[in-house]
A and B are shown apart, each in its own frame.
Chain A
């Protein structure tokens, strides 16, 4: 067996295997019980009778036998209230076999991790919802935003995403607003995930700001991480329902003034300064599928610099006043 010496096999069986309370069932292809053994009681299999249908005796196997696939593995099957089994079903020599192991402890560990994942996912959704897609910073709680309400100068990274196939006038999209909404709901979680804020939508573009929320990573790193995920989504078939997703992305970095403006009863995030202007300018000429970043953004990257090459000099780059870099997908 596995080229393991006999003492090791014996040791494994008397420790690792035994501690997991194995039990087995042996069935013919008509679903009758031929034999059983091991810790059957532990898994709620009491008073088993041979030559009787397994379906009727063991309710949790009902419907599964005779086995249709060559094998089936159920890593966690909660049978009794406090017992979780790992179940292997397989066919050998024209007969079906079932093996049970206790997986209660392992299941408990997995539940803890999965619970965290789910909680975070729900939380992220709630956050996106309370942002109501466009940011209403008062609900983010001003204290979370790492900015002075009166406004301050800060190095920020601006990401502008142009949704290329939406236009307010053409007949191409049935309902441009709905299409934009679909983009927003797909893109927002990615931006929030990477520590950005959705600043606003302007025309068919979505503006996100990185560096306003406290983070361990540099704002350019966050923005590029979000961008590559957005590009990935655009290429995947899991994209946006009904619309062909096409995005053009630009990222700029620099000092800008950020603050909260009182608008009506609420407050809205305001960002002004060179990076915003350059971003808006680059956005005008950006092309679907491309991600263009300016030099300050490039300089703020670590490993990710390798994913970028200098972009050709164009009118835009002259306007930007610094070299530009283009993302190349690996």
Chain B
């Protein structure tokens, strides 16, 4: 079966681990357990009639103490940029990370998920930010690991982009 590596990339506490847990195990927890290093999960999916084994690399978030090593992205067929919709600065983080990712692994398909959409009262991503995403011609969607909104869609869409 085809193995496809997918990396989760973004600032810390944006919901990378939660999105993988929601997608792979269908579970969610509000308890925050930070990731140090890399956590690997896998899930078999059928995309456009093709069976794929997705290998999900949940990489720790970027902050002052842990910088993401771009070499972790080697061999990825795609990656997911995770933004916390309640923290506008996490969008800036993915802009930077994407540029670095491109330097390292070239033009590999990626998708941006603006997570925590269930917290819309604290939402910090407005028209202007969405415009910026559109201008960059990035594929993005709103999602929530908590409610499950957009999660399946995010992975499926990326998988389609990867085999297309």
A79, B63: Cβ atoms closer than 8 Å: no
Which residues of A are found within 8 Å of B71, using beta-carbon distances?
69, 72
Which residues of B are found within 8 Å of A125, using beta-carbon distances?
87
Partner of A55, one of B3, B33, B37: B3
Which residues of B are found within 8 Å of A239, using beta-carbon distances?
none
Partner of A74, one of B3, B13, B35, B37: B37
Q: State how many angstroms separate the Cβ of B134 from the closest Cβ of chain A.
A: 18
Stretch at the interface among B38-46, B111-119, B145-153, B155-163: B38-46
Encode B1-19 as 1/0 by CB contact (under 8 A) with A: 0010100000011000000
B74, A63: Cβ atoms closer than 8 Å: yes
B53, A118: Cβ atoms closer than 8 Å: no
* Alpha-carbon gap, A121 to B13, bound state (A): 10
B74, A111: Cβ atoms closer than 8 Å: no
Judged by a CB distance under 8 angstroms, whether B34 is at the interface is yes
* Alpha-carbon gap, A44 to B40, bound state (A): 12
Number of residues on chain B facing chain A (CB within 8 A): 31
A118, B34: Cβ atoms closer than 8 Å: yes
Judged by a CB distance under 8 angstroms, whether A77 is at the interface is yes
A111, B36: Cβ atoms closer than 8 Å: yes
* Alpha-carbon gap, A76 to B69, bound state (A): 12
Judged by a CB distance under 8 angstroms, whether A115 is at the interface is yes
Partner of A59, one of B34, B42, B64, B72: B42
Judged by a CB distance under 8 angstroms, whether B32 is at the interface is yes
* Alpha-carbon gap, A74 to B71, bound state (A): 10
* Alpha-carbon gap, A78 to B36, bound state (A): 9
Give the 5 A-B CB pairs with smallest separation, nearest first.
A63-B75, A76-B37, A63-B5, A78-B39, A62-B3
Give 25 A-B contacts (CB < 8 Å), ordered by A residue.
A56-B3, A62-B3, A63-B55, A63-B77, A64-B74, A69-B74, A72-B74, A74-B37, A74-B72, A76-B37, A76-B38, A77-B37, A77-B38, A77-B40, A79-B40, A84-B37, A111-B33, A111-B34, A114-B34, A114-B65, A117-B63, A118-B13, A118-B63, A122-B13, A185-B89
